[in-house]
Amino acid sequence: MTNHLKKLTINTALCDMTGLTEDSLAPYSGMEINASVIVLSTEAKKLLTRIPVAMNAAAIVQVAEGTQISIKNGKFEIAGGEAPQQPTLLMVNGKLIIRTGSQETLKGYAGIQVNGKVLYPKSLEGLMARVQINGKSVAYPDEAILIDGKLRVDALFILRAKDALYFVTGSVAIAEENLDIQALLQKGVRFMTDKAYLNEKALAHALPLFDDKTQITSIPQGFAFVEEAETLADDLIRQHGAKLFIPNNLVIEDNQEGTLKKLEGLIVTGSVTLPLHLQDAFLATRPQYKKLKTYKGRLLRDRGTLTIDPHMLRQHPEGLTVEDCGAVTLEEAISGQDILEMLTLRDCGAVLCHEGQKSALEQVSSDVGAIRVIGQNPQEETQEEEIPRETINTAYYAF
């Protein structure tokens, strides 16, 4: 009889099973492992034949005995002359930048897993089979100067610029009207980038700096290029003037009607999100934009997790709009009628609700990843006897 044994469920990004032993298996009748990456040694693979094991993973990697696991979160770079001293499996959660001349360093890793983005020189394309990528990879020319992000060309950049190709992963902006573009051309500067913003006065002179694949957007004369702006505020007008060019999305909050009246011109290359009651005032400025999104009541956005309770709804009787949040949970005391009358959800990852709320949520939600009822398990097992379970939720788990 094995009714004293437990079933183990592990939910993790990386499950390191290289240290698995008979003793660590002894308490369990079975295992379920849900992971981005599972790492196995030859010995661990043999041991796992002793009990039922379900593995749900984007990648299962087998490594030699004694291999070290190195986890890097955020941005990590591999350059020449930095090879690990012992067999190492590298896992990067974020962005991996591989520099030119890193052939031997790459070969020194037992394996590389990336959850995110990889930038690598084209000459190393043949070695990229060693890198398993759950995300996006971009190759750049070996001779290029790599700039990871956006580049704002100013007078100081022109003084320091080299006779080189600059590979820019973000956009390039030549926004000031009196820069010495001729100096860049004489130095032999070239830019490789997907997008460029060029002030109207410099447009004709600056075009030779870019190849034909670059999407060029002109900044009209008299408009201030405000790259950092995310919300409209009086400070923007005081600092930059009443004509604004914003190369991203813009949010206009409920209390900005006075700011709208001060605008003399507005160009937004992305979407504009604003309260419904300010729509007419906004359109009166004759703005240019890609998409207009209105909301009712209070706007809550860009939250990793958010719990909505009845008190929050009572605070905003005019309504609550939730946008771009990772996980949203509704408390059980919120009625379906309250959801229909007071709540709007857009562009959220997952919504957790209670019985009786799901139908209403489906009516007020758009571009939501999933709406799930808490405690509802569509694949619930029926068993003659209840098996004790142990569940582990963690970013990294090692036996």
Angle at 380 between CA 376 and CA 385, to 5 degrees: 130
Task: Give the integer Cα–Cα distance in Å for 201 and 186.
Answer: 19
Q: Which residue has the tokens 């849900």?
A: 34
pLDDT tens digits, 75-111: 999 988 777 888 888 888 889 999 998 888 888 888 8
Let me know: does 332 contact 310? Beta carbons within 8 Å.
Answer: no
Task: Give the integer Cα–Cα distance in Å for 132 and 120.
Answer: 13
Predicted local distance difference test score (pLDDT) of residue 383: 47
The closest of 145, 109, 147, 143 to 128, measured between CA atoms, is 109
Partners of 172 in the β-ladder: 151, 196
DSSP string, 209-221: GB-TTSEEEEE-T
pLDDT tens digits, 310-335: 999 999 888 999 998 888 999 999 99
68: burial class by Cβ within 10 Å (0-12, 13-18, 19+)? middle
Across the chain, mean pLDDT equals 89
Longest dimension (CA), the chain: 84
> What does R_g of the chain's alpha carbons equal in angstroms?
27
Partners of 243 in the β-ladder: 265
Let me know: does 143 contact 125? Beta carbons within 8 Å.
Answer: no
Let me know: does 275 contact 252? Beta carbons within 8 Å.
Answer: yes
The closest of 94, 93, 123 to 395, measured between CA atoms, is 93
pLDDT tens digits, 24-83: 888 888 888 888 788 888 888 888 888 888 888 877 888 887 888 888 888 999 988 777
Q: Which residue has the tokens 């034949």?
A: 49
| For range 207-236, the mean pLDDT | 93
Partners of 215 in the β-ladder: 195
Non-local CB neighbours of 186 within 8 Å, separated by 6+ positions = none
Q: What is the 3-state secondary structure (H, E, C) of 77-124?
A: EECCCCCCCCCEEEEEEEEEEECCCCHHHHHCCCEEEEEEEEEEEHHH
Q: In this model, does residue 384 exceed pLDDT 70?
A: no
pLDDT tens digits, 189-213: 999 999 999 999 999 999 999 999 9
Task: Give the integer Cα–Cα distance in Å for 328 and 304.
Answer: 9
Task: Give the integer Cα–Cα distance in Å for 236 and 242.
Answer: 8
Q: What is the pTM of this model?
A: 0.76
Query: Which tokens is 88 given?
Result: 């190492």
